[in-house]
Chain A
Amino acid sequence: MAIFSVYVVNKAGGLIYQLDHYAPRADTEKTFSFPLDLVLRPHDERVVVAFGQRDGIRVGHAVLAINGAEVNGRLTADGKDVLEFLGNPANYPVSIRFGRHRLSSNEKLMLASMFHSLFAIGSQLSPEVGSSGIEMLETDTFKLHCFQTLTGIKFMVLADPRQTGIDALLRKIYEIYSDFALKNPFYSLEMPIRCELFDQNLKLALEVAEKAGPFGPGS
């Protein structure tokens, strides 16, 4: 049972706090010989697997390292283009590490704003009058829970689908925010939260929630 990450979004949709508590890294490193039976293609700033899923290497996984050296976007550690390098039979056999790429902070900011907008759209689209926005988004691998306070701050928690007690956890995070962020006289409202006490207490709360396991303290 795990809680993957916590996001706090302010009234305007800006991300003011983010914590990656646990990342289920499923990196796979394998040695390949020429020709490569995976189809790779460039995507954004990375090289991703487009086809040829096998052995834990899935479509969408990015090339993370070649021969142990981490790649830098689309270039290898030496500055060569990854696709060119892998197209040359002289470089084989080669060991490539694939995995899901970690989000950069800019990407997180963007995604948080996007969710903020979707949240608002969700409440507009609802057939019931006076609905709140998106409270839960469920997928096979995770559940995203969102709690919006009456003041407009959103707390989002991404957790394992089987994790319970997230509602109570969201309320607890709200309490921690109202204590260690708001009561800090040097913290300006709506700005990124850079309070050590907030971090510490949040991590403590996450641990408590995780320990409670699937039979959480009632959600």
Chain B
Amino acid sequence: MSRSPGRKQENDKISRELFVLTYGALVAQLCKDYEKDEDVNTCLDRMGYGIGIRLIDDFLARSGVKKCRSYSETADMIAQVAFKMYLGVTPSVICSSAAGNEFSLILDKNPLVDFVEELPAERASLCYCNLLCGVIRGALEMVHLAAEVTFLQDRLKGDAVTEIGITFLRKPEDRKHKR
């Protein structure tokens, strides 16, 4: 993270536990408020979207990265720079379509599920970390990249890994000469 010299170095970090607990409390409350798993997932996604549209400028301001020239560059940027900056983990990126617009981020460590073993039986289709999908979707939308972001695999549901799928919806040719 690069901060210019004029700014006070903020070494007073907040504890990771508090953050993970807060997220857990959020999901727990949503589960109480909504009966259906889909509703909770949608709500988490919406919240994440609200975070993503604001977080993108923070990311761009701090990392100073240049405009990405391809979808794969974008996916790499999300995995290697953004995830590292905000969650301290670096997922690996796989391109899962010949057209070059579908990518998967494989997370082997996910700080948000530090204290969660598995989902309760009545919440089998809950996407616990759906907030992350919303964040990615919101952030991409603000840089004019429409995308669908979902969880393809989830360790909490018994899969081997946690996989986030990003599908970019528009062709890069549409964005030529813009700005």
Taking Cβ atoms with an 8 Å cutoff, the residues of A that contact B are 120, 123-124, 129-130, 132-133, 148-153, 168, 171-172, 174-175, 177-179, 182-183, 189, 204-205, 208, 217
Contacts and interface: CB of A to CB of B under 8 A. Distances in A.
Contact of B54 (A148, A183, A205): A183
Q: A148, A171, A217 — which one has the most chain B CB atoms within 10 A of its CB?
A: A171
B53 interface: yes
Contact of B179 (A152, A174, A175, A179): A152
A182 to B, nearest CB: 4
A108 to B, nearest CB: 23
Interface of B: 3-7, 53-54, 56-58, 60-62, 64, 67, 142-144, 176-177, 179
B6 A208 contact: yes
Given A151-B142, A151-B143, A175-B62, A129 B177 contact: yes
B95 to A, nearest CB: 23
Q: B3, B7, B64, B144 — which one has the most chain A CB atoms within 10 A of its CB?
A: B7
Contacts of A177: 57, 61
A150 B5 CA distance: 24
B57 A149 contact: yes
Contact of A175 (B7, B53, B143): B7
Contacts of B58: 178-179, 182-183
Q: A182, A183, A208 — which one has the most chain B CB atoms within 10 A of its CB?
A: A182
Given A189-B54, A217-B5, A149 B177 contact: no
Given A130-B177, A150-B67, A151-B142, A182 B57 contact: yes
